[in-house]
Amino acid sequence: MFCYQCEQTQHIDALAGCHSQKGTCGKDSVTSDLQDILIHAVKGLAQVSHRARALGVTDAAVDDFIHYALFTTLTNVNFNPVRIEQLVRQAVTLRDALAGKAAAGAPLATPPGPASYQPPATQALMLAEAAGFGVRAGMETVGEDVIGLRVLVLYGMKGVAAYYHHATVLGFRHPDIDAEIARILSDLAGDPTDIPGLLALALDAGTLNLKVMELLDAANTGTYGTPEPTVVRMTPRAGKAILVSGHDLGDLARILDLTAGAGILVYTHGELLPANAYPALKAHPHLAGNFGSAWQDQHADFAAFPGPVVLTSNCLIEPQRSYKGRIFTAGPVGWPGVRHIENGDFSPVVQAAQALPGFTQDAPEKTTTIGFARDSVMGVAGAVIDAVKSGAIRRFFLIGGCDGAAPGRNYYTEVAEAAPADTVMLTLGCGKFRINGTDHGDIGGIPRLLDLGQCNDAYSAIKIASALADAFQCGVNDLPLSMMVSWFEQKATAVLLSLLALGIKGIHLGPTLPAFLTPTLLAVLQEKFDLRANGDAAADVARALGQAA
């Protein structure tokens, strides 16, 4: 196996990356190799889909499969080799069926490369070929920079696929997005070596991701209403209980519907905390608040939860024996031996909740306030603009993205501590849990901590920044705004590419820089976008405020 797609990749020798028997995330070498083959097969499907589309032939099942299959290969999503092997074979079946359908109208030449992949009959034979499909295949010929750029595009596209999946399961899709996904993956299937061309492809992925985040925003708000400032209980109440983790609002809604009037309280975990601010979800009286913290604390959180736990998307880590029997996966998520919910039927979860003890008493109440999506912030835009003009708000710090277990992530807590009282912090993604346990006060009634939501709500942040730039008649890069982006996995890679595609400069990226960015690529990104590595938090804040560190 070789994998260096996430921030927790291993640095045990000169070659940064997980390349022993198991990655830091718990992904074993069999699953990792099968995921490489799956990506190869999906690229081949995209090659055929791209060419068939040019002939006017499309297939929604193919489009859905592409983003679903890519989603299973994100960090902390699917660790089940049986499922990944099935997906490889399904990709080839779909590809051949689509090619046949397209050829009925006009001959469809099979493109070279992944489109001609034929999986051997057994998993063992498949794995014997895996080295040829790994992300570093061909490195000796093309060099580290080309490999680094190819995976930058691939990992960005994985993030795009995940966000698009969340939109499509709510019934929101767009043919232009399906077409662009197939086009970019098809380009990637040709193993491009041109560095400027690959950089442009990476920015294309970022531009595509903006459209996908916009669609997901429309899907979430169109289905569940616009998030509104909401005080959320962070401690449990007595009663039977279900914990729902991940990012999928649709799965949470289905569980809420199924448990209505059943005497079961439903709690969010991790990246589902922002769900408590959506009107149609918080209208359920048994949505009882949030339990626990970000994904990396799930061993403690899930072990302490006296009911079933549902993982609707990333970030799953190896379940411990103490709770493995009461955890369920849904959608793209999987772990061998863990019960998987099929077809959105969560009744086994409800049965488990009824059989388990639940909380025996109310815990002392603790709360946090969330729900400052763009409409809430822009609703007080006049007050915000006045506060900036009067100097009451000196600067905004966007502290956005993923959380993780690495000690370097204290950086984000330290940024919040170092940010002076006349600054406002905008959070999104599960990195918020580093900051939201503290009361940061307000500036003339405007809370100093405004949580915008999940990581995909970077779209909200972009809209707020654009509106402020319009109000001040300047560019986003001229606003008193510093972006401290905390990356962990491939959704964050997609968001970063979106910010770069918008021409946003001076982003601080951390806690460490991606291992796949070579010194040459970093130099290019620094020169074009002033991309910065995290330094000392207090010094970075002081520099942002124009002070000597």
Binding interface with ligand SF4 (CB under 6 A)? 3-6, 8-9, 18, 23-25, 27, 32, 75, 247, 270-271, 295, 314-315, 402-403, 429-430, 455, 488-489, 491-492
Amino acid identity, position 111? P
Nearer to ligand SF4, 221 or 313 (CB): 313
Q: How far is the CB of 51 from ligand SF4 (least distance, A)?
A: 31
Tell which residue, 395, 374, 387, has the closest CA to residue 461.
374
Nearer to ligand SF4, 5 or 80 (CB): 5
Nearer to ligand SF4, 47 or 329 (CB): 329
Q: How far is the CB of 26 from ligand SF4 (least distance, A)?
A: 7
Nearer to ligand SF4, 62 or 415 (CB): 415
Q: How far is the CB of 112 from ligand SF4 (least distance, A)?
A: 28
Q: How far is the CB of 7 from ligand SF4 (least distance, A)?
A: 8
Nearer to ligand SF4, 32 or 276 (CB): 32
Nearer to ligand SF4, 269 or 286 (CB): 269
Q: How far is the CB of 394 from ligand SF4 (least distance, A)?
A: 28
Neighbours of 195 (CB within 10 A): 16
The CB-nearest residue to ligand SF4 is 23
Q: How far is the CB of 456 from ligand SF4 (least distance, A)?
A: 9
Nearer to ligand SF4, 139 or 380 (CB): 139
Nearer to ligand SF4, 8 or 123 (CB): 8
Q: How far is the CB of 164 from ligand SF4 (least distance, A)?
A: 15
Contact 312, 270 (CB under 8 A): no
Q: How far is the CB of 281 from ligand SF4 (least distance, A)?
A: 18
Contact 324, 302 (CB under 8 A): no
Angle between helices 195-224 and 175-189 (to 10 degrees): 150
Contact 171, 219 (CB under 8 A): yes
Q: How far is the CB of 488 from ligand SF4 (least distance, A)?
A: 4
- DSSP element (H, E) containing 442: strand 442-443
Phi-psi region of 263 (alpha: psi -120 to 50; beta: other; left: phi over 0): left
Nearer to ligand SF4, 83 or 491 (CB): 491
Nearer to ligand SF4, 123 or 427 (CB): 427
* Phi and psi torsions of 110, nearest 5°: -70, 120
- DSSP element (H, E) containing 501: helix 490-501
Q: How far is the CB of 271 from ligand SF4 (least distance, A)?
A: 4
DSSP structural state of residue 239: B
Q: How far is the CB of 71 from ligand SF4 (least distance, A)?
A: 11
Neighbours of 475 (CB within 10 A): 13
Neighbours of 469 (CB within 10 A): 16
Nearer to ligand SF4, 2 or 359 (CB): 2
Question: Quick one: the chain helix, strand, coil %, rounded to 5?
Answer: 50, 15, 35
Q: How far is the CB of 159 from ligand SF4 (least distance, A)?
A: 9
Long-range contacts, 541-548 (Cβ 8 Å, 24+)? 541/397, 541/415, 541/418, 541/419, 541/482, 542/418, 544/395, 544/397, 544/482, 545/394, 545/395, 545/420, 545/423
Nearer to ligand SF4, 333 or 500 (CB): 333
Say whether 545 sits in a helix, a strand or coil.
coil
DSSP per residue, 315-351 = ---PPPHHHHTTEEE-TT-B-TTSEE--TT--HHHHH
Degrees (nearest 5) of the Cα angle 360, 362, 363?
Answer: 115
Give the strand order in the sheet containing 508-510.
449-453, 423-428, 395-401, 481-486, 508-510, 532-533
Structure tokens at 103: 């050829």
Give the number of residues written for the chain.
549
**CA pair distance 125, 122, nearest whole angstrom:** 5
Nearer to ligand SF4, 114 or 292 (CB): 292
Q: How far is the CB of 426 from ligand SF4 (least distance, A)?
A: 15
